[in-house]
Structure 1
Amino acid sequence: MKTKPVSRILALVKKDLLLEWRQRHALFGILLYVFSTVFVINLMVKEPEEKIWNAMFWVVQLFVCVNAVAKSFLQESRGRLLYYYSLVHPRYFIAAKLIYNVLLMMFMSLVSLLCCILFLGNPIIHPLYFLGIVLLGGISLSLLFTMLAAIAAQASQNAALMAIMGFPLVMPILMLLSNISQGALSPVVQPGLPGMFLLLGGMDVLVIALALILFPYLWKE
């Protein structure tokens, strides 16, 4: 009797969680990176005004995502990927990676938000709205960089390739997130929010679709 696709995907997600816990020094290293980065910003600018605070938060999010998500594929050896290829369909594998990295980045986003509030002040007027944007932003960034890490992993594990490809792709997402989250720092209602939400959601759906379509062809190489 064949295992259902959902069961296989969940098994792969569980595998990644177990590996992350066994290699938790890498996770703690990322947490230390978040803490030290925000602390250095505090030493340089103390408590910035809300626009600068917002911009710095998303820049921190970007580098945290690069460090947290990139290793999901770049740490996998060729032999291990070949072994996975013989066990599961490539689409199940990439779906599990997407889910795992979304969960990881949502956790790291909450840690980043807490550190920024502790060290850089709290200019947030609408906390629940901003919290939702932070989680949504973590999901968007993790989806994009998971797909880029999958491509880079097939190019001789070249992490530089991910950074080169990611820069032009991540800029629109960061600009959208910055503009959307600015509404949580201002008492004035920002115009055009529904359109920006739809655009961000559409980009996420496009990234997921591209990952599910392209990854099986990449994995055959």
Structure 2
Amino acid sequence: FINMMMEIIKIVIVPILAALLHDYLKTALPARQRVVYSLAGLAAGWLVTLPLGLWAFFERAFTSAELLQAVEIFSFLLAALVVGVLYHQLAKAVAQLDGIMPYISMFGIIYFTAVTTAAGHDNLLRVGFLLFLVAVLHNAAGYFFGYWLGRLFGLDKNSARTVAFEVGLQNGGMASGLAGSMGKLGTVGLPAAVFSPWMNISGSILANYWRRHPVATAPVPTPVAPSAGSVSYS
């Protein structure tokens, strides 16, 4: 379980934290930017010293595996800080970078899907149709229950639609990465390889449908200014 959580931190948490930091630095005041840059410098120093002997010191000093894992998690979080600052600086130098990143993300999805499909070719031929059927049902159930349970608990329609996407769409890249880290890409990774393309198709269809059918909002009444000749008596 601990190893799986470490993989989740590396695959998901670190990129998310780096992206959030990049967004924060876009609008942060110069003084706060300097604080972040200083912390990133300290974090980079920590990461550089780890392979130069600091990690070996921790291995000798800490007899508990849990403490070493805590240091490892802390180091990954510091890496997110460094990566976020480096990406922010790179995005400032290359204005088109933010626009290119979605294409890189799509390439990553295609890559993981292709590798997983190739690794599990034989298994996919045996259970491919069943996996596809389960993926469709799982995806549809996520949309359905995400939306209607949101409405049941008092969310407005737009919020319920958001919940539907959050529940119906899953992180196939993370699933493939976890399967690969366990050495079971050709078996455990197959559901992600089937689910990821389908959820992109179904999610696009649903998003376009809801975009063509927006939620009707009540018009906000515009206050009427009193006419110039009106007189108020109290």
TM-score, reference length from structure 2:
0.28
Name the larger-Rg structure.
2
| Greater fraction helix | 1
Where relative contact order (Cα < 8 A, 6+ residues apart) is larger, the structure is: 1
TM-score, reference length from structure 1:
0.29
